[in-house]
Amino acid sequence: MAPPEVVVTASERETFTLGEHLARTLTPGTFVLLHGDLGAGKTALVRGIASGLGADPDDVSSPTFVLVQHYKGRVPLTHVDLYRLENSAAIDDLGLEEMADGGVVAIEWAERLPRPIEQSVTVRIEDLGEDRRRITVERNNA
């Protein structure tokens, strides 16, 4: 496994651009597991991933109330938010494994997953104050 990549971004635009670059390395069937506090920039990164996969980034919003959103692009993107789900059974009922069929799945609040996902990229976003973010990208068998 390669060592984690650590990048510090200084704006939402830089976080978006990092997501675009990350998307170009993703293959269908890959999960992007996003970790970070509220307002850390997870959705901004997903907008960049959507753009990099050929979807309209302006269509991307936080799926906190909807739980799952789908975006059509060169590679389909499914955006999942586990923030409101509190138990493993509810998460299992989403059928996450099937969502990755032919596309990429980005999961916000991935720490709520009941078990690890092998074909994944883990992204940890830390708020450093103002618009600065430390973003750590770790590939797990991806």
Taking the C-alpha atoms of residue 27 and residue 88, their distance in angstroms, rounded to an integer, is 27
- Beta carbons within 10 angstroms of residue 6's beta carbon: 12
Are the C-beta atoms of residues 23 and 53 closer than 8 Å to each other?
yes
Confidence of residue 142 (pLDDT cuts 50, 70, 90): very low
Q: How many domains does the chain have?
A: 1
Full domain range(s) for residue 88: 5-140
pLDDT at 19: 97
Question: 42-65 pLDDT, tens per residue?
Answer: 999 999 999 999 999 999 987 666
Q: What is the CATH number of the domain that holds 26?
A: 3.40.50.300
Radius of gyration of the CA atoms of the chain, in A? 14
Is the predicted pLDDT of residue 15 greater than 70, yes or no?
yes
pTM, whole model, 2 decimals? 0.90
Q: In what order do the strands lie in the sheet with 68-71?
A: 5-9, 132-140, 120-129, 31-35, 104-108, 77-81, 68-71
Is the predicted pLDDT of residue 74 greater than 80, yes or no?
yes
